[in-house]
């Protein structure tokens, strides 16, 4: 099973009926010229890319924006369109007084599968007191957290809040919490690799092609940037295929990973098996 | 007089030759123009309009020739984050193939009908699929 662990449904046609909402998303998510895409075309693209499941991420910074970029309800409505294709992650703004209740509602009533947080956009460090209740809820519910890590393309999102090493205290204080430091934590890839190597429930994803072609980029990161054996034998069970759609296309990211000169079992793990463990669907055989 | 018709197309492959002869013929016949020309124009920069013979072998030769001239894994400058889109550019080959093949074709209109050679079909050609696309059919004459 191929799972794209990192996609933003900001221009999915089914949640773009309101032009004002679309313009708000384009501006605040930093998409500008990219516009709404019909759902049948979305499914064609996923079919052509051979992607079986896609994690759709909500985005909530409503404390200062007044409304989420993508609401939990919008993500739920997309999952309802294709429950066999889409997996929904919630987002809550920890600066809002009711954030914990909103998260419990997203898990309990909306049935969403994890939590997305971009601390760069929220302007808070991973150890911020306002986040701790959210971590506890996720840990108790067995739901993973997708943290933005490293550089964020979103406006007003300084990277310093999301430096990978800053998440170490979360890994220590919440040892059963599964979380992903997205985008390989670029440009702090070494810090991200230290985190996924050391901490059992910390993962990363490949949603990080910001320069060059995917084939060149992944070869540079995983082959030239580290020993091939490190990737194949020590890190491969902690790295998940993520596209960062619509910032990059699922098919081209997948092709870039498939082009790596590594064992087939490693490719299979990165393209879907690791995501199944991260999502709590499959036994974690890490030891 | 002039009449502009816009058609929407959805490509389902990265490279795809979509035959639009019938849509052009219909647009000409509904335009009210008796004698003149029809321009078939792509609205995009990684697509083309072509006229060629609708044979799978010819279509495959066109695809192979373009891939040889503009390889998918070439060393391109247009491989970077585009801030105005908020997305990465990864489609330099599509832009270059579009430049090579051109964005429009022209055919005559006579007695309210499209005039074309027996072997000629009109294609909207996708170089950067899968996408939702638009094509302009501009009929001009009297």
Domain count, chain B: 1
Q: Do A211 and B80 touch (CB under 8 A)?
A: yes
User: Which CATH number goes with the domain that contains B71?
Assistant: 2.60.120.460
Q: Report pLDDT digits (tens) over B13-70.
A: 999 999 999 999 999 999 999 999 999 999 999 999 999 999 999 999 999 999 999 9
Give, as one character, the DSSP assignment of residue A167. Answer: G
Asked if residue A43 belongs to a domain, the reply is: yes
Distance from the B15 Cα atom to the nearest Cα atom in chain A, whole angstroms: 12
What residue numbers bound the domain in which B104 lies?
A: 2-141
User: Which CATH number goes with the domain that contains A273?
Assistant: 3.20.20.140
Q: Report pLDDT digits (tens) over A228-260.
A: 999 999 999 999 999 999 988 899 999 999 999
**CA-CA distance, A282 to B14, in Å (whole number)?**
34
B80 touches chain A (CB under 8 A): yes
* pLDDT > 80? residue B86: no
Q: Which residue has tokens 């997948």? A: A254
Which chain A residues have a beta carbon less than 8 Å from that of B13? 48
Q: Give CA B27 to chain center in angstroms.
A: 16
Q: Do A48 and B13 touch (CB under 8 A)?
A: yes
CB atoms within 10 A of CB A214: 25
**CA-CA distance, A157 to A159, in Å (whole number)?**
6
Torsion of CA A141, A52, A70, A27, to 10 degrees: 140
Q: Which residue has tokens 């609205």? A: B43
pLDDT band at A219 (very low <50, low <70, confident <90, very high): very high
Element (H, E) at B124: strand B121-126
Contact A112, A89 (CB under 8 A): yes
pLDDT in the model for residue B82: 82
* pLDDT > 90? residue A211: no
**CA-CA distance, B54 to A59, in Å (whole number)?**
47
> Could you give the C-alpha distances from A154 to A30, A121, A159, in angstroms and in order?
5, 7, 10
Asked if residue A40 belongs to a domain, the reply is: yes
Tokens of B98: 């579009």
Nearest CB to B86; choose among A37, A153, A216: A153
Q: Report pLDDT digits (tens) over A123-153.
A: 999 999 999 999 999 999 999 999 999 998 8
Q: Which residue of A has its CA nearest to B92?
A: A213
What residue numbers bound the domain in which A94 lies?
A: 3-278
Beta-strand pair B16-19/B121-126: antiparallel
**CA-CA distance, B74 to B93, in Å (whole number)?**
8
Distance from the A186 Cα atom to the nearest Cα atom in chain B, whole angstroms: 14
Asked if residue A202 belongs to a domain, the reply is: yes
ipTM of the complex: 0.76
């Amino acid at each position: 099973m191929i799972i794209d662990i990192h996609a933003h449904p900001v221009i999915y046609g089914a949640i773009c009926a309101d032009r004002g909402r679309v313009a708000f998303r384009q501006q605040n998510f930093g998409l500008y010229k990219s516009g709404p895409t019909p759902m049948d075309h979305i499914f064609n693209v996923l079919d052509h890319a051979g992607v079986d499941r896609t994690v759709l991420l909500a985005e909530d910074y409503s404390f200062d924006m007044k409304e989420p970029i993508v609401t939990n309800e919008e993500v739920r409505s997309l999952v309802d369109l294709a429950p066999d294709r889409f997996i929904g992650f919630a987002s809550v703004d920890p600066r809002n007084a009711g954030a914990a209740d909103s998260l419990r509602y997203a898990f309990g009533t909306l049935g969403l599968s994890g939590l997305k947080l971009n601390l760069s956009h929220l302007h808070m460090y991973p150890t911020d007191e306002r986040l701790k209740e959210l971590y506890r809820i996720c840990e108790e519910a067995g739901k993973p957290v997708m943290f933005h890590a490293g550089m964020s393309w979103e406006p007003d999102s300084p990277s310093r809040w999301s430096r990978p090493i800053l998440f170490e205290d979360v890994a220590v204080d919440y040892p059963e919490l599964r979380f992903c430091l997205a985008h390989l934590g670029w440009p702090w890839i070494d810090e991200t690799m230290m985190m996924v190597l050391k901490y059992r429930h910390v993962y990363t994803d490949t949603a990080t092609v910001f320069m060059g072609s995917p084939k060149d980029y992944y070869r540079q990161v995983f082959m030239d940037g580290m020993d091939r054996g490190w990737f194949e034998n020590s890190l491969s069970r902690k790295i998940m295929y993520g596209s960062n759609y619509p910032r990059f296309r699922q098919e081209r990211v997948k092709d870039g990973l498939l082009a790596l000169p590594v064992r087939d079992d490693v490719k299979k793990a990165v393209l879907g098996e690791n995501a199944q463990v991260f999502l709590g669907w499959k036994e974690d055989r890490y030891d | 007089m002039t009449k502009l018709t816009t058609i929407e197309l959805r490509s389902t492959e990265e490279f795809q030759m979509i035959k639009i002869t019938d849509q052009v013929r219909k647009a000409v016949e509904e335009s009210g123009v008796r004698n003149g020309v029809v321009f078939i124009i792509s609205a995009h920069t990684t697509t083309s309009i072509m006229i060629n013979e609708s044979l799978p072998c010819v279509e495959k030769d066109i695809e192979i020739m373009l891939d040889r001239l503009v390889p998918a894994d070439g060393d391109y400058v247009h491989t970077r984050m585009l801030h105005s889109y908020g997305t990465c550019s990864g489609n330099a080959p599509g832009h270059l193939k579009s430049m090579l093949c051109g964005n429009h074709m022209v055919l005559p209109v006579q007695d309210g009908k499209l005039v074309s050679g027996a072997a000629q079909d009109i294609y909207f050609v996708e170089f950067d699929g899968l996408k939702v696309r638009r094509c302009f059919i501009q009929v001009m004459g009297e």
